[in-house]
A and B are shown apart, each in its own frame.
Chain A
Amino acid sequence: MEIEKLRKKLIGKAKKQVQEKYAGRESHVIRAAAVLQDLDACFNLLAEHCIEWYSMHFPELKGMVKDNQAFLKLVYFVGERGKFSEKGVKEQAGEKNVKRIVAAAKKSMGSAIEEGMLKEVQLLALNALNLREERDFLLRFIEKEMEAVAGNFSKVAGALLAAKLLGEAGSLRKLALMPSSTIQLLGAEKALFRHLRNKQVKPPKHGLIYMHPLVQKVARGNRGKMARALAGKLGIAAKADYFGKTDIAAKLQQDLEQRFNQLKE
């Protein structure tokens, strides 16, 4: 009996120690997710400027390299269009359109560019690429941290979406106590205001969880149903994480796949 008492006491103690360790930790990952979103926006803005600027020199490239990051790498690492070789293009931008790009560089109708001007465009490209790299580091941090803070929830939602939802809810505790109908609309408030300000923006239907691949891939008319199912499972996952239950993510994911298959067509 003594031993049973000791055991109960030590289980309680260890639980409290673990909870304290993680309390408040989620605020960091919430911040990181917010930063990540802004980094994306900054990167895209700088990339657009850079692409427009470089296009005075080599206007045909824009149509052949759709990926911004690949484009900037070509600007920074290859530079002047006279230096475009198959090897160089492949290294920076992959296999696609290599021959066409090199041919276009040879007979481009863009204007020549001075060394000093090109340097400016290249520095802009480098800074944008660095932001992009920072974004990748941050995403890895978010994945690791979400796994520790709310493993089940993170696996079902995907780390980034999970962090965003957590941010909208405010804390894991609030998320765990939230009805699934509220989870379904988390993040919709912002979109709602955007809609009210500008009627060209459509009113929101499902909040942030609309980004989830299972909702995206389901037939359009069934997205509401898929979002509802997802919100339900996310609620269960958050409760399991907060109240310290076992790994249930695999089971939840399986159930969702099943629902997805029903709603697919």
Chain B
Amino acid sequence: MKQIFSGVYSSNGKLFTRNLVPGRKVYSEQLVSKRSTEFREWVPWRSKLAAAIKNGLRELPLRKGATVLYLGSSEGTTASHISDIIGGKGLLFGVDVSERVMRKFIQLCEARPNLVPVLADANKPESYREHIEGSSIDLLYQDISQKNQAEIFNKNAALFLPKEKTGLIALKAKSISQRESPKKVFEKEIAVLEKEFRIKQVVLLQPFEKDHAMVLGEKR
């Protein structure tokens, strides 16, 4: 096991995080034990953040105790690995609009002491502002397939993300425009993100996800 980022391990080309709740799987990932520590495989086909790391993401501003605002947390596949990385002292707010996925995510929150569910529309950050603003956010992460995804990200960054902190957003070309080429779409979206962020890296997510890119930026 080689540590490639704080709390992220690599072995034989596979990614792992230390299981915060040993013995329990979250999706269909493998559990592996090395010297009395249990690791969970982090599958890039299931998690865009893992795909970005596999494809050369240069920075991952996560460590033990970090606080994360996660928009589009869904059932918590990716969120569970961030939960492993930030450990018991960390905190992750998972925002999602769908009751169906939230039901699963709530169960995950009950099993993992650093996860907090927020059932809300990320388009309307004022609706959950009171719960978030007491915490200082280290990373704003977003994976939402909506036409105005960059705008949603900017709105939330403006409200919750302190200067010089990091934003990571998974852009999906198909949900923005069916007609334009993915490259064009990414350029346009990145231009929108420039309003709130200094863009540091763009990582394409092939072959794990088609027409997806992960954008890393620093809050202006």
Contacts and interface: CB of A to CB of B under 8 A. Distances in A.
B119 interface: yes
A21 B96 CA distance: 14
A14 B107 contact: no
A17 B105 CA distance: 13
A17 B107 CA distance: 14
Contacts, number: 45
A11 B99 contact: no
A194 B117 CA distance: 51
Contact of A11 (B91, B100, B116, B134): B116
A10 B131 contact: yes
A121 to B, nearest CB: 46
A150 to B, nearest CB: 12
B106 A244 contact: yes
Contact of A21 (B99, B118, B131): B99
Contacts of B109: 7, 11, 14
B20 to A, nearest CB: 15
B184 interface: no
Interface in A111-131: none
Given A11-B106, A18-B99, A18-B103, A3 B117 contact: no
Nearest to B103: A18
B102 A14 contact: yes
Interface in B77-113: 91, 99-100, 102-103, 106-107, 109-110, 113
B134 A14 contact: no
A10 B116 contact: yes
A18 B107 contact: no
A11 B110 contact: yes
Contacts of A13: 119
A200 interface: no
A6 B103 contact: no
Contact of A22 (B99, B110, B117): B99
Nearest to B105: A14
Contacts of B102: 14, 17-18
A243 B109 CA distance: 15
A133 B103 CA distance: 33
Interface string A15-29: 101100110000000
Contacts of A15: 106
Contacts of B118: 10, 14
Chain A contact residues: helix, strand, loop or mixed = helix
Contact of B119 (A6, A14, A246): A14
Nearest to A22: B99
B134 A18 contact: no
Contacts of A3: 91, 135
Given A11-B109, A245-B107, A18 B91 contact: no
A244 B106 CA distance: 9
Given A3-B91, A6-B134, A10-B131, A18 B119 contact: yes
6 A-B pairs with the lowest CB-CB distances in the bound complex, closest first: A14-B117, A21-B99, A17-B119, A14-B119, A7-B116, A18-B99
Interface of A: 2-4, 6-7, 10-11, 13-15, 17-18, 21-22, 148, 244-246
30 contacts: A2-B134, A4-B113, A6-B116, A6-B134, A7-B91, A7-B109, A7-B113, A7-B115, A7-B116, A10-B116, A10-B117, A11-B106, A11-B117, A13-B119, A14-B102, A14-B106, A14-B117, A14-B119, A17-B102, A18-B99, A18-B102, A18-B103, A18-B119, A21-B99, A22-B99, A148-B100, A244-B103, A244-B106, A244-B107, A245-B107
Given A6-B131, A6-B134, A11-B106, 15 more contacts: A2-B134, A6-B116, A7-B109, A7-B113, A7-B116, A10-B117, A11-B116, A13-B119, A17-B99, A17-B102, A18-B99, A18-B102, A18-B106, A18-B119, A244-B103
